[in-house]
Structure 1
Amino acid sequence: MEVKQMVSVIAGELQIASGQVERTISLLDEGSTVPFIARYRKEMTGMLDENQIRSIQERVQYLRQLEERKEEVIRLIAEQDKLTDELEKQIREAVKLQQVEDLYRPFKQKRRTRATVAKEKGLEPLATFILSARNGNLEAEASKYINGEKGVESVEEAIQGALDIIAEQMADDPNVRSWVREYTMKRATLSTAKKEDEPSEKKVYEMYYEYSEPASRIAPHRVLAVNRAEREGILRVKIELDFLPILQYLERKWIRRESVASEQLKVTIEDSYKRLIAPAVEREVRGLLTEKAEEQAIHIFSENLRQLLLQAPLRNRVVLALDPAYRTGCKTAVIDETGKLLEVAVVYPTPPQNKIAEAKRILIGLIEKHEVQVIAIGNGTASRETEQFTVDMLKEVKRDISYIIVNEAGASVYSASKLAGEEFPDLDVAERSAVSIGRRLQDPLAELVKIDPKSIGVGQYQHDVSQSKLSDSLEFIVESAVNYVGVDVNTASPALLQYVSGVSKQVAKNIVGRREEAGKYTSRKQLKDVPRLGAKTYEQCIGFLRISEGENPLDNTPIHPESYKSVAVLLKELGIRPEEITSEQAKAKLKEVNVKEMAQRLDIGEPTLHDIIASLLRPGRDPREELHKPMLKKDVLDIADLTQGMELQGTVRNVVDFGAFVDIGLKNDGLVHISQLSRRFVKHPLDVVSVGEIVTVWVKDIDMKKGRVGLTMLELETGAAEKR
């Protein structure tokens, strides 16, 4: 596919102007990254955002792989001397890989089938006669093919062999395959039935023991649930539909009027469908449903991860972090305002030890010694018992301290990693986990990038999807979040730096290595001296790297050095000296700039000038500071404390297809079903809530036996709603 044709296809699919697509492809081919293009090449792309550029990147990759497959298929068919001009044209005009595979199917090397055996017996001409003849005697024609040496002993065997060839031809016909696949997808029903008892008493798959739903309408999360239950041997899954219309379609396509073998062909059509077409199409339909479900699951995980990474940091607080446990004790770490580890300890305030008095004495001592301001409690095993202990302990502390439950998903993965071992070689695994819990409260992004994104539990069925696709998507999200926030090059770890646009793992290590050897960076220019950080990498990464208190105040902004000359002219035009950038007088002058006129005078694009002015108005700005702050607590809640209609504040922990899970202070998060998110129609929960958001909810129903709480974001009209 030529570049112009590729551009035309992508522009049509994504509803983007051809010029925007063409220039974006050119930038990508030059080695520019998605974050760099989105931020610093807005004039070239026509203001495309990261998601649009990412979509172009993915489509270019797909179409180029499609072209490679087309060339391979054409070569393979040509080697069999069966390539016609018409077939080659069809292959080259195909826009989907499935179309190419359908066209290649008749020529694909197959295992030994009834049709291949019949062909070896020389019965292909008889098959052609059956399909084309309107006159003649079928038995007489078939008798010509009786040949003992080839294994054709009778007229019946000859006819059956020819019909086997025809059945396979029908099944391999690309038009038939495409039509039946589309019909099945539109009309079929996915049905499930219980196969074996579930080992868990919770009966997770109970709703699917006798279940059916149109395949075209089944929700993605139900597809993944059914797939998992089928793999575990709990369910039997089938694709069911009325196939009579399919047989009628095949008869119209394959049986000529007054054919000498009409009746035999009708039987063959049914055989072809049931034996060859239906099983293959069922697999394809299940595959398409799974692919769509995986895409949705990956999308949800990605959006949740983005919100989790971009949670507002709790800066300038000394944190006491607790990693709860029963038998092995509660690991404790005190972290100063910069994330530096001050002290670790182990206490045993929970069963079976129950050394409550000792634990209070040790922890209160740490609080007083280090002037702790907030306590972070991991939400894993023994979390609620530790929370209750903490609340009781704080009553004896003279300082004003709050606590917060921190999602510790992935902390154990980090603590056992090579990176954690390098950071804290003298700590055991559990102590490292406590440090991670404390640091992710202070700066979620900087700490969470150290963990495999797949280990952060903010998705649905993430272990049931393509792990390579999931990894690609999550890596893009992490990269996007890191570059959106920006990175302080003098404090960032290699784990954080490696997600900066254009920076590899080795270059990230080299940046830190140079910092440790020569001291803090005072200018962005000094990064040019970092080993393996060449001109292209410098261009891609430097705008996302910040240097606070450096030689040039612009180095602490998202302004790219390539625009520094334009900034100097702008400041001169406005009568602002560089050292006055942060003054109120300078900000007032910047706010009055006529962007259109000034852009023409500076000979730069309006989008770039908009970004420059925004950066000068708020140098060193962290965009996360405008988001929801973590909700600090001073008391604990028990399910027995709840009453229907009670009003609560909670933190959204996870968003899935069917609703949102909200932490209201119980052992298990409460569920706000999608129908309870808003009084208006909600297409997907992500349109209403996001991970980390603080929301007001009301208790809708309580299941004491299962320990479940149903919540609503629609204020209950009970007139007796309690507030907490």
Structure 2
Amino acid sequence: MEEKKQSMLQLLMKETSFSKKAIENVVSLIEEGNTVPFIARYRKELTGSLDEVQIRTIVERWTYINNLENRKEEVIRLIQEQDKLTEELQQSIVKATKLQEVEDLYRPYKQKRRTRATVAKEKGLEPLATWLFTFPAQGNVEEVAAQYLSEEKEVQTVEDALQGAKDIIAEWISDDPEMRKLIRQLTFKEGRLVSTSKDVEKDEKAVYEMYYEYEEQVGKIVPHRILALNRGEKEGIVKVALTTPVDKIHAIINKKYIKSTHSPVTPYVEDAVVDSYKRLIEPSIEREIRKELSEKAEDQAIHIFSENLRNLLLQPPLKGRIVLGVDPAFRTGCKLAVVDDTGKVLHISVIYPTPPKNEIEKGTQIVKGLIKEFGIEVIAVGNGTASRETEQFIANVIKEVDKEVYYLIVNEAGASVYSASPLGREEFPELQVEERSAISIARRLQDPLAELVKIDPKSVGVGQYQHDVTQTKLNDSLTFVVETVVNQVGVNVNTASSSLLQYVSGLSKSVANNIVKKREEEGKFVNRGQLKKIPRLGAKTYEQCIGFLRVIDGEDPLDQTGIHPESYKETKKLLKRVGATPEQIGSPELSEKLKQINIDEIATELEIGVPTLRDIIDALIRPLRDPRDEVPTPLLKKDVLQLEDLQTGMELQGTIRNVVDFGAFVDIGVKQDGLVHISKLTNRFVKHPMEVVSVGDVVTVWVDSVDMKKQRVALTMLKPENQM
């Protein structure tokens, strides 16, 4: 068992740049029931300060390698049971580093369904195939084949006998793992993916127009095109096929298997080669390559979605502002929700400033009255149906108000999902769906993270082809992102919803509900220790979650920090060492004192690791640090911009809303987000837009072109005089 573990460690070390010690420790910590966020934050000495993504990479690769080793053992056992395991074959299986290699090696020994070759073997034609494969210099092929004729075995003619022998040879060639590997590599290098139109009428909006007649080299096709082709094929709009360098492949097979060009059997074996490739190898390799391309494209799409989600969740909260949320609509009216600086709902109403009612004056008076009554400073307008008309209305109202009020268009993707969900109904049982949406829109501006965790991550509107990828893989990746962000930011245990708490390290949905229930029954928590009494929150769960749960204004000032209670003893020693008390946490005096100490010396004295000590010092200097505070705040607006107002070369400020393989979509204040193509992001070469921009970035752009017919805006981040 230990030998197997060492072999797995060596393979993982070869694949990654991580040390053996770090990998061993991560694996051990995970096996002990520790979570990724806990390991990343509180076990840095053991991991060499690996972050969450690196730790997850180790866990995922370890799982894959473990499955690989288990499959190797199983394949060796299955071949051994057939008494066909040679030393050379066993070594090849042991050395394999991919599941595909193991399956290729096992292929000749796998119990197959009845094939043409197995039928031929049952008819006693294998000796004939073996004879053909020896390439005798002389002999009459038909006379030899005639010896295998049999009424009983239904081998009626010489042609039947030779066809059966060729079927057996074709399967032998197809089962050659080395040959399959060579053909797979050549196909990947020189094959082309070709699509042609199948049923254009189904493509009403010409979404797949570029794929009606399209081809590209397999090794160069970009991920988003793979997913587009897959979707077009699935919808029956295009046909997709893989074209291969057939002559080159035949030449490779012939070189290995045609031992003589002068033997009387050569034409028969050459027939078997052509048949083996066309009937057995080519379809199989095409499936494998398309599956591999799709998996890589899926991984890329999931990666983009995950990074966009991470940046969206890390958008800075608009702290201390009273917000008016507006859910626009035509016939049913615009729903209004006033929310105070803690997210508490103060007022709900509806106005009808849009068609068909056009009650602009009445709506104006209501909004002005709310601004005055509640001291509203910011208005959040959803970007759904009627948002353009509602934005114009709100901009006009602001001009009539004698105080500074701004508005912002908020991406309401997923708001309706939350509003109609059991969670939305539970939170606001007396309200209509649209009224809940208005609250959600306002809260998204106040604290994007706290509000967005209530929504299925797939519904937040920052994905690319998210419906075309494996949903379990997508869910796992997005859940990991949400967990990582929630734990990096930390959670106020006295204000957090159950939706937010369940993403905290170690907490399940039921435990999160129990925390909220306890808080509602007994009032605010005053120290972290009280959480030990929560039903189903045991010692291990407490260890995993408690460092990420903050008690603000509690009995112990350390409870408001990211310092884990397991380090309180050392933290208090440190404070005593510099002549300070816990009450001075966050003060300039303590900060100055801590900056003077010798880190290595104090770490040795306190018997803790340097990374842990650095984290403790950082928490003492900035106890309420929020990583979101370092991100640019959203652009607030006072006036509306129309698509018709845009002119080529116009300079604008915008916010990145979505990043995809081919560019970035930017909110510039008109209804449609503009697209900055990857070639217009920067003068230097970039492989992916994420090298330049992220969701939430505030950027300067210039209008490149406006297509009024298609309602599209092309933008550039290259200053006009710098464009090449």
Q: 4+ runs of 1 displaced by more than 6 Å? A: none
Displacement of 1:581 in angstroms is 2.2
Displacement of 1:72 in angstroms is 3.6
Counterpart residue number, 1:230: 233
Counterpart residue number, 1:41: 43
Write the distance in 2 (CA, Å) between the matches of 1:75 and 1:623: 53
Asked whether 1:426 is paired with 2:430, we answer yes
Asked whether 1:153 is paired with 2:153, we answer no
Asked whether 1:173 is paired with 2:176, we answer yes
Counterpart residue number, 1:144: 147
Counterpart residue number, 1:374: 378
1:314-368 per-residue CA deviation (whole Å, 9 max, x = no partner) reads 0111111111122222222111111011121122222222222222232222222
Write the distance in 2 (CA, Å) between the matches of 1:366 and 1:65: 62
- 1:27 pairs with one of 18, 24, 29: 29
Counterpart residue number, 1:252: 255
Write the distance in 2 (CA, Å) between the matches of 1:146 and 1:429: 79
- 2:346 pairs with one of 342, 353, 357: 342
Any conservation in 1 of the 2:203–2:237 contact (CA below 8 Å)? Answer: no
Write the distance in 2 (CA, Å) between the matches of 1:575 and 1:68: 58
Displacement of 1:493 in angstroms is 0.8
1:230-289 per-residue CA deviation (whole Å, 9 max, x = no partner) reads 111111212113211111111122222354411111111011111111111111111111
In structure 2, what residue type is equivalent to 1:116? T
Percent identical among aligned pairs is 61
1:523-560 per-residue CA deviation (whole Å, 9 max, x = no partner) reads 11111111111111111111111010011111111111
- 1:560 pairs with one of 560, 564, 580: 564
> Aligned to 1:216, what secondary structure does the other structure show?
helix
Any conservation in 1 of the 2:13–2:19 contact (CA below 8 Å)? Answer: yes
In structure 1, what residue type is equivalent to 2:190? R
Write the distance in 2 (CA, Å) between the matches of 1:376 and 1:530: 37
Q: Which runs of 5+ in 1 are unaligned?
A: 720-724
Pairing 1:484-503 to 2, within 5 Å after superposition:
484-503=488-507
In structure 2, what residue type is equivalent to 1:320? L
Counterpart residue number, 1:60: 62
1:614-667 per-residue CA deviation (whole Å, 9 max, x = no partner) reads 111111121211111011101111111111111000010000111100000111
Counterpart residue number, 1:97: 99
In structure 2, what residue type is equivalent to 1:31? G
Counterpart residue number, 1:214: 217
Displacement of 1:78 in angstroms is 4.5
Any conservation in 2 of the 1:134–1:256 contact (CA below 8 Å)? Answer: no
- CA pair 718-556 structure 1, distance change in 2 beyond 3 A: closer
Counterpart residue number, 1:266: 270
Asked whether 1:662 is paired with 2:666, we answer yes
- 1:239 pairs with one of 238, 242, 249: 242
Any conservation in 1 of the 2:380–2:410 contact (CA below 8 Å)? Answer: yes
Counterpart residue number, 1:11: 13
Asked whether 1:644 is paired with 2:648, we answer yes
Asked whether 1:182 is paired with 2:185, we answer yes
1:191-230 per-residue CA deviation (whole Å, 9 max, x = no partner) reads 1122222545542222222211111011111111111111
Pairing 1:254-333 to 2, within 5 Å after superposition:
254-257=257-260, 259-333=263-337
Higher mean C-alpha deviation, range 341-350 or range 37-46: 341-350
Counterpart residue number, 2:703: 699
Asked whether 1:361 is paired with 2:365, we answer yes
- CA pair 53-259 structure 1, distance change in 2 beyond 3 A: farther
Any conservation in 2 of the 1:132–1:259 contact (CA below 8 Å)? Answer: no
1:49-104 per-residue CA deviation (whole Å, 9 max, x = no partner) reads 11111100101111122233334434444455544444344333322111122223
Pairing 1:656-695 to 2, within 5 Å after superposition:
656-695=660-699
Any conservation in 1 of the 2:202–2:237 contact (CA below 8 Å)? Answer: no
> Aligned to 2:657, what secondary structure does the other structure show?
strand
Displacement of 1:443 in angstroms is 0.5
In structure 2, what residue type is equivalent to 1:158? A
Write the distance in 1 (CA, Å) between the matches of 2:303 and 2:268: 50
Any conservation in 2 of the 1:130–1:260 contact (CA below 8 Å)? Answer: no
Displacement of 1:677 in angstroms is 0.8
Pairing 1:590-609 to 2, within 5 Å after superposition:
590-609=594-613
Write the distance in 1 (CA, Å) between the matches of 2:461 and 2:128: 62
Asked whether 1:511 is paired with 2:495, we answer no
Counterpart residue number, 1:713: 717
In structure 2, what residue type is equivalent to 1:28? I
Counterpart residue number, 1:722: none
Write the distance in 2 (CA, Å) between the matches of 1:232 and 1:156: 44
Write the distance in 1 (CA, Å) between the matches of 2:501 and 2:716: 41
Any conservation in 2 of the 1:330–1:348 contact (CA below 8 Å)? Answer: yes
- 1:412 pairs with one of 413, 416, 419: 416
Write the distance in 1 (CA, Å) between the matches of 2:50 and 2:127: 59
Counterpart residue number, 1:611: 615
- 1:621 pairs with one of 612, 622, 625: 625
Write the distance in 2 (CA, Å) between the matches of 1:718 and 1:184: 42
1:90-136 per-residue CA deviation (whole Å, 9 max, x = no partner) reads 33332211112222322334333221221221111211121124244
> Aligned to 2:721, what secondary structure does the other structure show?
coil
Any conservation in 1 of the 2:135–2:266 contact (CA below 8 Å)? Answer: no
> Aligned to 1:140, what secondary structure does the other structure show?
helix
Write the distance in 1 (CA, Å) between the matches of 2:83 and 2:605: 66
In structure 2, what residue type is equivalent to 1:329? G
> Aligned to 1:717, what secondary structure does the other structure show?
helix
Write the distance in 1 (CA, Å) between the matches of 2:485 and 2:712: 34
Displacement of 1:503 in angstroms is 0.8
Write the distance in 2 (CA, Å) between the matches of 1:307 and 1:255: 59
> Aligned to 2:437, what secondary structure does the other structure show?
helix
> Aligned to 2:354, what secondary structure does the other structure show?
coil
In structure 1, what residue type is equivalent to 2:179? V
> Aligned to 1:236, what secondary structure does the other structure show?
strand
Higher mean C-alpha deviation, range 142-151 or range 97-106: 97-106
Write the distance in 2 (CA, Å) between the matches of 1:198 and 1:410: 31
TM-score by length of 2: 0.97
Pairing 1:431-442 to 2, within 5 Å after superposition:
431-442=435-446
Any conservation in 2 of the 1:645–1:718 contact (CA below 8 Å)? Answer: no
Counterpart residue number, 2:108: 106
1:294-326 per-residue CA deviation (whole Å, 9 max, x = no partner) reads 110000000000000000000111111111122
In structure 1, what residue type is equivalent to 2:397? M
> Aligned to 1:148, what secondary structure does the other structure show?
coil
Write the distance in 2 (CA, Å) between the matches of 1:208 and 1:504: 46
In structure 2, what residue type is equivalent to 1:393? V
Write the distance in 2 (CA, Å) between the matches of 1:382 and 1:371: 26
Write the distance in 1 (CA, Å) between the matches of 2:80 and 2:228: 44
In structure 2, what residue type is equivalent to 1:620? L
In structure 2, what residue type is equivalent to 1:403? Y
Higher mean C-alpha deviation, range 264-273 or range 347-356: 347-356
- 1:134 pairs with one of 133, 136, 141: 136
Write the distance in 1 (CA, Å) between the matches of 2:227 and 2:274: 32
Alignment length, in residue pairs?
Answer: 719
Write the distance in 1 (CA, Å) between the matches of 2:257 and 2:413: 59
Write the distance in 1 (CA, Å) between the matches of 2:125 and 2:86: 23
Asked whether 1:448 is paired with 2:452, we answer yes
